[in-house]
Amino acid sequence: MPPHPLEIGPAGQAAARALVRTRTARGYSQRQLATRITAQGRRMTFTALSRIERRARRCDIDDLVAIAAALGVSPCALLGGPAEPLEPVSAGAT
């Protein structure tokens, strides 16, 4: 039996929407953005980018960072907002 793909959760859904908004605001086609991502050293086809935008493919962290860099934004901008300061974690926290 083939493995089932993992569902795309709320953060992935929000990132896909933010990606589309940011890409179109910058005036890039999917092909242009995929070329920019690949030029930075992260190979990505426009088909893969389209699948991420359509929520048919999960976007891993390396893809997210490369996409954000190619768009000239912080990865946090694609995750739904400004970076929140992290709370210190105590040594015994779970």
> In the prediction, which pLDDT does 86 show?
45
pLDDT of residue 92: 56
Q: Write down the pLDDT at residue 89.
A: 52
**For position 67, what pLDDT does the model report?**
98
Tens digits of residue pLDDT in 2-51: 565 678 999 999 999 999 999 999 999 999 999 999 999 999 999 999 99
Which structural domains are found in the chain, ordered by start?
A: 10-77 (1.10.260.40)
Which residue carries 């896909």 as its tokens? 16
For 78-91, how does the pLDDT look when each residue is reduced to its tens digit (9 = 90+)?
997 554 444 555 55
Q: Choose between 80 and 54: higher pLDDT.
A: 54
